[in-house]
Amino acid sequence: MFMKLRPTPAGSGFTLIELLTVIAIIGILAALIFPTVGKVRETAQRTVDANNLREIVKAASIYAADNNDRLPDPTAIAAQYPGLGSGPYAWAGILAQRGIVTDPTFYFAKNDPFFNGSYPAAIVDPANRTTLNSDFATRTLSFEFVGGLRMGDVPSTPVAFTRGLQTTGQWDPVSGVYKDTGGHIAFLGGNVQFYPNVSEPDTRLTLSNGTKGVSIRQAIPVAAKIYATPPAGGTTIGSVTGTAGQTP
């Protein structure tokens, strides 16, 4: 006995117009969804960066507990351990040398346009812990650090922040980690806050005299300095050799 097949009714398939309509709808949905997904991923990465900054500040506090309540000071570190480099490299180097933060990934943001997508193998040379890893020593770090602080300074004192901050309180569109979107600031009290770029002068920072202001330089003690790796410089406030605080 043979099975009798029913003929396919005419017009039961998709017409060209229907197919084009479905493709158009898919295209519209993709255009709506993809930017949202990208924004969610970017926001998630910023959260990772904020957590890394928070851990770096905690590590600096641990270091201070064994160093007369003084957080890492790149100038003093470079004089004692020349092999740990200068500026922000010395900050990272001393924490790694003491075994507090040894993971180099803490110092790089994936969204940073100056990050090449690969991490150095280490911060310090495993065979000589007073010498920086040669790969780490030539990288552009995603964060800037304030050296010369003490645990007794006010909790609202900035300790580290996203690279590219300018004297205007905005992040540089070229050297900024998130370009001109904004950046994180980590404070001595342990909190980390994201500050978006604003068109008007921002007065959310608590300055050393207790007032509100825009310049992070005026929010740190007179003796402190701000250290950063290139492309710092120009309108940005950090430098490898250190930029003095309390400068408008």
Report the alpha-carbon distance of residue 128 to residue 134 in Å, rounded: 12
pLDDT in tens, 5-41: 455 455 556 677 777 777 877 877 777 666 655 566 7
DSSP string, 52-106: HHHHHHHHHHHHHHTTTTBPP-HHHHHHH-GGG-SHHHHHHHHHHHTTS---GGG
pLDDT in tens, 118-170: 999 999 999 999 999 999 999 999 999 999 999 999 999 999 999 998 888 88
How would you class 24 by CB atoms within 10 Å of its CB: exposed for 0-12, middle for 13-18, buried for 19 or more? exposed
Name the one residue in this structure whose structure tokens are 């158009």. 24
For residue 1, what are the CA distances in angstroms to 4, 166, 183, 211?
Answer: 9, 86, 77, 96
Q: What pLDDT shows up at residue 213? A: 79
- Three-state DSSP class for residue 44: helix
Q: What pLDDT shows up at residue 2? A: 46
87-97 and 16-65 are packed helices; what angle lies between their axes, rounded to 10 degrees?
70
pTM of the entire predicted model: 0.81
Name the one residue in this structure whose structure tokens are 């100038």. 75
Q: Cis before residue 231, ω within 30 degrees of 0?
A: yes
pLDDT in tens, 210-235: 778 778 888 888 889 999 998 865 67
Of the candidates 119, 100, 123, 87, the one whose C-alpha atom is nearest the C-alpha of residue 228 is: 87
pLDDT in tens, 28-76: 777 766 665 556 677 788 999 999 999 999 999 999 999 999 999 999 9
* Helix residue spans in the chain (DSSP H): 16-65, 74-80, 87-97
Phi first, then psi: give them for residue 124, nearest 5 degrees. -115, 160
Report the alpha-carbon distance of residue 76 to residue 116 in Å, rounded: 30
Report the alpha-carbon distance of residue 153 to residue 171 in Å, rounded: 25
Determine if residue 164 is left, alpha or beta; phi over 0 gives left, psi from -120 to 50 gives alpha, anything else beta: left
Mean pLDDT (the chain) is 86
pLDDT in tens, 165-180: 888 888 999 999 999 8
